[in-house]
Structure formats: structure tokens, C-alpha cells
């Protein structure tokens, strides 16, 4: 389970880094990858089976191991060993990072999948994705480049008035017939378009905005998630918390990968274990770079204006 999650972490950080690394492309790589992932059939089932279940199993087993752990790399009171070797310190940090990850993953999933996640709704012009943002001047130029429309607090009020007017109009379906009637086709298309527009207005009107907030309406899920990532890392506090979270995840994954190779009998000799350490450290460096780039460059470098 842990090895599978290491692979997922690498893919996840690689995807997120596309929001930041190619300066000037407005996160187009991130948008393409997210759009591709969002088009996977039965995505929620796939995420539950391939990510959710392994994560829960690994977390439960990890908490049990962390509670049983006896770290011995610190000072001794004369009754316990004091072994300040690198592998003993790695053992201790593996357990400490597991606690950071336990709470970090819960907060990450709650924020990105529920609290701040874009809302999907039909509209007369096709599917739309709505993201609530705190306004900043960079959105003036960024939103048009991303083909996103911004709605302010007065627009929400207008949407509610438009809904009231639509409710006062009777949309009556034509009589059913076994024969093709061109007028009926046009009438049904008009009703369907009106219902889709009503669904969009209902979703837009459901937002409660402060004066400094807007709703960004995007045509693709990738654009909506890109704006959500930008909004998250616009806050220095969130960027700092995610820095700790990512570094803990990278260390836990790479050190766990090294011990995985031993556990499964792939590196049993001292020479092979020593040879794998630089490779694990290199993997740790690359993943840390991808994760920190996404955190500190998505807004502050690539998507600020």
C-alpha cells in the first residue's frame, strides 16, 4: 500500500508542478492534465479504490506502528539505548512525519475536495465550473487569459432577480405526438435551454459573497482547479503549512521506499543498501522541488498577474 502511494505522490506532485514551472504559460499543462483526469469514467470509484482504500489501510497500519515505536536516537537516561546513527534518526523522523501526514491529509482532502472545491453545474452554453475567490488585481488580466468570467456580489443579486423572473414564466411542454413536428423540436430545445440556464443561475445565486470576493466561472475543470490552487497558495500561511506537509510527505515516501526495498528482499546486502541511499535522496530532492515549486511559484511567480 505504501509503495503504491509513493507512485501516486510522484504523479500528484508532477501534475501540481505544471501550475508553476513553465512561467508564462498560465498553467496550461496543469489544466490539460486535470481535464484528462476528470474525464476518466467512474472517476470517484477509481479514486476510492486506487487512492482512498490504500490510504486508509496504510494510515491505520501506520498509526498502530507509530504508537508502538520506541525511538532511540536521543539522549539516554541510563536505562534505554542512545543510538544517534542516521538510520535511527530516519526511523524517528519516519514516525514523526506520519503524524504530520495523518492530520495534513485529512485537512488537504477536506479543503481541496469539499470546502474549496469548484462546483459543477449545467448552463445554456454547456457545463460550467464555479470557484469562489478572494479578489486581487491580478484577476483582471488573468481571468480573460484563462477564459473565465468573474461575478461580483451585485451579479449574485441580479442572478436571484433573474431566477424570480424565470419562475414567473410558465414553461409548458408541447403535447406529445407520434409524428415529427418541427415546431415541437424547437420548443423542447428552448425549454431545455431555459432549464439549464435556470440551474446555472440557481448555483450562482447560492453563493454568499463579501465585497472582496468573486465567483470565477470556467469552461473546464482544469481551469477551475488551477484558480483554486492559486487561491490557496496566495496565502503565506497556507503556503507555509503546505511546505511542512509536502516535505513530510516526501521524506516519508522516499525513506519508506528505501525500507520497502529491504522488506521485500530487493536490497539485502550492505553494499546494495548503501548504493540505494543516494538514489532515494535524489528522488527526495526531485519530489521536494516539484512540490515546493507548486506551492511558492503558482501564485507568486506564474499566475500573479
Residues 261-281 have pLDDT tens digits of: 999 999 999 999 999 999 999
Contact between residue 207 and residue 132 where contact means Cβ atoms under 8 Å apart: yes
Residues 71-112 have pLDDT tens digits of: 888 877 777 788 889 999 999 999 999 999 999 999 999 999
CA gap 55, 194 in Å, rounded: 43
pTM of the model: 0.92
pLDDT higher than threshold 90 for residue 45: yes
**Segment (H or E) for 142:** helix 138-145
The pLDDT assigned to 170 comes to: 61
The pLDDT assigned to 108 comes to: 97
User: What is the full DSSP assignment across 68-91?
Assistant: H----SS---SSS-----HHHHHH
- What is the pLDDT of the chain when averaged over all its residues? 93
Please report, rounded to a whole number, the percentage of residues in the chain having pLDDT higher than 90: 81
Q: Give the pLDDT band of residue 226 (cuts 50, 70, 90).
A: very high
The pLDDT assigned to 73 comes to: 86
Return the beta strands (E) in the chain as ranges: 119-121, 128-134, 149-151, 213-218
Q: Which residues contact 1 (CB under 8 A, 6 or more apart)?
A: 54, 55, 57, 58, 61
CA gap 200, 160 in Å, rounded: 11
Give the 3-state secondary structure percentages of the chain, helix then strand then coil, rounded to 5.
Answer: 65, 5, 25
Q: Give the pLDDT band of residue 221 (cuts 50, 70, 90).
A: very high
Domain extents for the chain?
2-69+83-118+235-302, 120-171+184-228
Nearest-CA neighbor of 1 among 44, 74, 65? Answer: 65
Average pLDDT over residues 127-156: 97
The pLDDT assigned to 172 comes to: 66
178 CB neighbour count, 10 Å cutoff: 4
CA gap 112, 232 in Å, rounded: 9
Cell, residue 120:
459543477
Amino acid at each position: 500500500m505504501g509503495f503504491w502511494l509513493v507512485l501516486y505522490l510522484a504523479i500528484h506532485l508532477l501534475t501540481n508542478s505544471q501550475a508553476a514551472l513553465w512561467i508564462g504559460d498560465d498553467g496550461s499543462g496543469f489544466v490539460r492534465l486535470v481535464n484528462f483526469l476528470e474525464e476518466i469514467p467512474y472517476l470517484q470509484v477509481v479514486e476510492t479504490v486506487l487512492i482512498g482504500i490504500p490510504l486508509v489501510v496504510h494510515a491505520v497500519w501506520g498509526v498502530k506502528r507509530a504508537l508502538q515505536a520506541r525511538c532511540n536516537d536521543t539522549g539516554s537516561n541510563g536505562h534505554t539505548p542512545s543510538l544517534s546513527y542516521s538510520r535511527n534518526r530516519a526511523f524517528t523522523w519516519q514516525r514523526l512525519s506520519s503524524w504530520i501526514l495523518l492530520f495534513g491529509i485529512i485537512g488537504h482532502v477536506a479543503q481541496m475536495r469539499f470546502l474549496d472545491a469548484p462546483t459543477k453545474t449545467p448552463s445554456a452554453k454547456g457545463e460550467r465550473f464555479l470557484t469562489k475567490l478572494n479578489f486581487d488585481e491580478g484577476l483582471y488580466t488573468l481571468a480573460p487569459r484563462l477564459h473565465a468570467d468573474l461575478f461580483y456580489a451585485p451579479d449574485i443579486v441580479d442572478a436571484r432577480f433573474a431566477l424570480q423572473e424565470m419562475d414567473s414564466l410558465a414553461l409548458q411542454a408541447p403535447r406529445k405526438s407520434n409524428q415529427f413536428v418541427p415546431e415541437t423540436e424547437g420548443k423542447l430545445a428552448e425549454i431545455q435551454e431555459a432549464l439549464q440556464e435556470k440551474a446555472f443561475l440557481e448555483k450562482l445565486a447560492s453563493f454568499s459573497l463579501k465585497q472582496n470576493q468573486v465567483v470565477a466561472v470556467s469552461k473546464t475543470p482544469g481551469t477551475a482547479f488551477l484558480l483554486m490552487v492559486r487561491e490557496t497558495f496566495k496565502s503565506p500561511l497556507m503556503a507555509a503549512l503546505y511546505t511542512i506537509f509536502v516535505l513530510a510527505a516526501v521524506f516519508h515516501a522516499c525513506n519508506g521506499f528505501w525500507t520497502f526495498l529491504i522488506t521485500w528482499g530487493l536490497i539485502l546486502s550492505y553494499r546494495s543498501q548503501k548504493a540505494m541511499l543516494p538514489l532515494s535522496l535524489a528522488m527526495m530532492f526531485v519530489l521536494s522541488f516539484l512540490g515546493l515549486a507548486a506551492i511558492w511559484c503558482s501564485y507568486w511567480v506564474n499566475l500573479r498577474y
